[in-house]
Structure 1
Amino acid sequence: MLFWLAGVYFLVNVRLPRVLPAGANVYLGQPLAWLSLGNLAYLSWRFGLKERPVFSRRLTAMAILVGLLQVALAILAGLALGFGRSPYSHHPLALLGNLFFMGTMLVGMEISRAYLVVLFKRGSPVLSVACVALLFACFSIPLGKYTSTIDPQSFFEFAGETLLPAVSQSLLATFLALAGGPAASIAYRIVPELFEWLSPILPNLGWTVSAFLGTMAPAVGLLFVQRQLQWGYFPSGRPQSQESPSGNSWILVAVVTVSMLWFNTGLFGIRPNLVSGASMSPALNPGDIVILRPVEPESIQVGDIIRVVQAGTPILHRVIEITDEGGIREYVTQGDANNVPDRPVSADQIDGRVVLVIPKIGWLAIGVRRALPWLN
């Protein structure tokens, strides 16, 4: 099943776009690929599992309500921040084609998700849900999203706006699949999908707001559904302790997920930045993660490493000189490995000061970013 899932992901993201025209790819090739996955997953679910979760109408209805809550929060944010036109066609034939494409993908993903999480739950339900959720979160993101992270800023925006919400939503969908089978996870996921594909206007949110809502709503939904299971609200025919992990485990998962989002978007007052160049070697090397903190320009001293934005490009360099002529203060920076200084920058171009360096842990992100273009 895992190999088939990976094969379908490779087909729809790499192979089919090369060999089929755009229309045939989206409305024929990709749906057939997802249908093949769904058929294999259904047969495995039906005949390959000795024990399966009991279908619960209450749990399925609760999953729909959580999906509606997620959509409602997005609409409320749109009322405050504005709406934009949907990028999808709303011609009747195009709508039918889009719904067919979305439906086959959803069914294929969710039946295979349910099969895998139930298959692996025997050792540790929490570990099973976490691993399967991470796997399906990664496979739910188009390959082009990974390859578009060409600089540190775009990488962290991708992590906040796309990856973390995908992980949060996948955690909830996987938990629902473990508790109530594929019907429950489909019921949750289909609501925001229908809103996205059918609505002629969509909330026009900044990436930080989108990241916050996309991560927070599923995390709250996860805790709520899990609490209902603990209270026995959804009859399952088995003791609750065998059906779902402990509440403390899921509280920890939700807290970690939301904390990662807040840290990534700077809501703690600090934020990470990936070093991808060698201009500050040996102080900062490619693959290092630096922690930035907002700083008052007056407190910057010669020798500080700061992040400045020049011509739209963020740069991490050391301050080598501070000038103050006619009441206008400017900062001259230079990379430790460079022979010439940068152009002077003003205070409003400074985007934080480095307060901590964590060596090498960002190499995984750099390696993935460099390897992904070879798949295209």
Structure 2
Amino acid sequence: MKIFFKWLNRFVTAVLFVLLIGLGFLVFSSKLSGGEPNVFGYQLKTVLSGSMEPEFKTGSVIAVKPIDGEERQQLKVGDVITFMESDDKLITHRIIEVKETGAGIVYTTKGDNNNAPDSNPVLAENVVAVYSGFTIPYLGYISEFSQSKNGIIALLIVPGFLLIGYSGITIWRAFHELEKEKKKAEVEMPKTS
């Protein structure tokens, strides 16, 4: 039974530590990037509307791969792209038509759940990324929460205190066991005069 509790103790400590590191990474990378975090060259974007359902649900996190000038010219019908609609607004929709114009390549886009194509065509130079096919449903709610003051407290400070508290309990138990062993050894030791 002692061995079971020893392994359970190690497991809980490892889980708390990994949780703290993971949540710390999420919060700090969100803060450093000014928005969604970057992982292995992919940007993680939070889906804020249902325009692309059922491909991805509101509140999901999707991974998009940033692309450069050459790749922007090679997109095709069916690709899901993230593009700059205005100075501060990114949209992720599917390409439904590709046209060559005097201004360059222009993409007509549409959200899968929308009734009509987007009103403004997208210039290739406004495309910032392409959807990688990786989605985590509902994680976006946590990502958005992690950027708030309450989120930082809940996702970093609370797990940190839990880890410290759990470490304190583990240390106390270790000292308690040492005291028991010491008392047991004193009782078993014959007194000499």
For this structure pair, what is the TM-score category when the shorter chain's length is used for normalisation?
Answer: 0.5 to 0.7
* Alpha carbons of structure 1 residues 306 and 137: separation in structure 2 relative to 1, 3 Å: closer
SS in 2 for 1:128: helix
- Say yes or no: does 1:331 pair with 2:104: no
Given residue 298 of structure 1, which amino acid in structure 2 is its aligned partner? Q
Residue deviations 1:49-81 (CA, integer Å, cap 9, x gap): xxxxxxxxxxxxxxxxxxxxxxxxxxxxxxxxx
Report how far residue 160 of structure 1 moved.
Answer: 0.4
TM-score, structure 1 length as denominator?
A: 0.30
CA distance in 2, matches of 1:133, 1:290: 22
* Structure 2 portions without partners, runs of 5+: 1-5, 152-193
The equivalent position to 1:365 in structure 2, one of 142, 147, 154, is 142
Residue equivalent to 1:160: 29
Q: Is the 8 A contact 1:302 1:320 kept in 2?
A: yes
SS in 2 for 1:124: helix
Residue equivalent to 1:278: 50
Higher RCO (Cα < 8 Å, 6 or more apart): 2
CA distance in 1, matches of 2:134, 2:30: 24
Aligned-residue identity in percent: 24
Given residue 89 of structure 2, which amino acid in structure 1 is its aligned partner? T
CA distance in 2, matches of 1:366, 1:137: 12
Residue deviations 1:310-330 (CA, integer Å, cap 9, x gap): 112011101112221125211
Greater share of residues in strand: 2
- Within a 5 Å distance, the mapping from 1:169-248 to structure 2 comes to 207-208=32-33
Structure 1 runs (4+) deviating above 4 angstroms are 132-138, 366-369
- Within a 5 Å distance, the mapping from 1:44-193 to structure 2 comes to 124-125=9-10, 127-128=12-13, 131=16, 158-162=27-31
The equivalent position to 2:63 in structure 1, one of 269, 275, 291, is 291
The equivalent position to 2:78 in structure 1, one of 303, 310, 334, is 303
* Alpha carbons of structure 1 residues 133 and 326: separation in structure 2 relative to 1, 3 Å: closer
Given residue 137 of structure 2, which amino acid in structure 1 is its aligned partner? K
CA distance in 2, matches of 1:287, 1:122: 36
Which structure would you say has the larger Rg?
Answer: 2
CA distance in 2, matches of 1:324, 1:368: 42
**CA-atom RMSD in angstroms:** 3.8
- Say yes or no: does 1:354 pair with 2:131: yes
Residue equivalent to 1:265: 38
SS in 1 for 2:73: helix
